Amino acid sequence: MLAQLFKWFFALLPFVYYYGVLDASGTPRLLFLCFFLVLGFGIHLFKNQELKIPKTYGLIFLIYLLTCCSTSIINGNFIDYIELVKRGAYFLFFILIYNLNDAKSESTLLEGVQIFIGISLFFGLTEFLLIALGEAPVENVFYAISTTFSHKNIFASVLLLSIPFCLLNKIKPAQLILISGILLFCLLLQTRSVLLGLFIAGIYF
């Protein structure tokens, strides 16, 4: 059941968007993640399942908290509590991921991630066509495509980090289409850090 929840989380994630400053801060998706975490841990509590928490997760998060607090105190700055909440939510998210330790759950999770990639690419293709047809606010600025990620650099980074999820298990035609779409948009968006990542990954593999 938890794996199915993950699948729906990734399938709905591209639609959680609000155009403006609110989305640039990541607030809608953070709220969506927090709602998902409540459901995920609620399922564990309801089913009375053992929740495994790796020691390294807790240690890394504790070091992060101490580093943030000490740096803020030394520099005389205010502690950014929103960022701490974000990192805490990510920490809890990966704890749930860690507890999906059977092949069926992992396969369902992977399917959800690939659905997320497919929807994101579809949004990118739609925006590309709108620009090409002159129906978008900007004309012939294809490298500015951001879909529902506020900025094209975020969109490109998400696509780059999605590549490994298309290479797991036996590669199927649908996965090849996703990989081709990812590479096409990475080149089109011209994000230097993403292109550098692709270059280094190409040399490594």
Q: Which two tokens stand for residue 108?
A: 């369902």
Note the pLDDT of residue 116.
92
Give the residue, 111 or 26, on which the prediction is more confident.
111
Query: Which is higher by pLDDT, 12 or 59?
Result: 12
What pLDDT digit, counting tens, does each position of 99-112 carry?
A: 887 788 888 888 89
pLDDT at position 197, please? Answer: 85
The most confident of the ranges 59-63, 119-123, 133-137 is 119-123
* pLDDT top residue among 69 and 124: 124
For residue 23, pLDDT over 90 is answered with no
Q: Is 193 exposed, middle or buried (0-12, 13-18, 19+ CB in 10 A)?
A: exposed
Average pLDDT rounded to a whole number, residues 128-155: 74
Residue burial 165-190, b: 16+ Cβ < 10 Å; e: rest: bbeeeeeeeebeebbebbeebbeebe
Is the model's pLDDT at 140 over the cut of 60?
A: no
Distance CA 15, CA 23 (A): 12
- For residue 205, the model assigns a pLDDT of 65
Can you give the pLDDT at residue 79? Answer: 64
Mean pLDDT of 5-17: 86
Q: Name the average pLDDT for the chain.
A: 81
Per-residue confidence band for 186, with pLDDT thresholds at 50, 70 and 90 = confident
36-50, 87-101, 129-143: range with lowest mean pLDDT? 129-143
At 117 the pLDDT is: 92
* Alpha helix positions (H), the chain: 2-12, 21-24, 27-47, 55-75, 81-98, 103-132, 152-167, 173-189, 192-204
Residue given tokens 């996965």 in the structure block: 175
Is 60 exceeded by the pLDDT of residue 113? Answer: yes
Which DSSP category does 144 fall into? G
Whole-Å CA distances, 133 to 36, 130, 142, 184, 189: 38, 5, 12, 19, 18
pLDDT at 118 over 90: yes
Nearest residue to 121 (alpha-carbon basis) of 172, 173, 175: 175
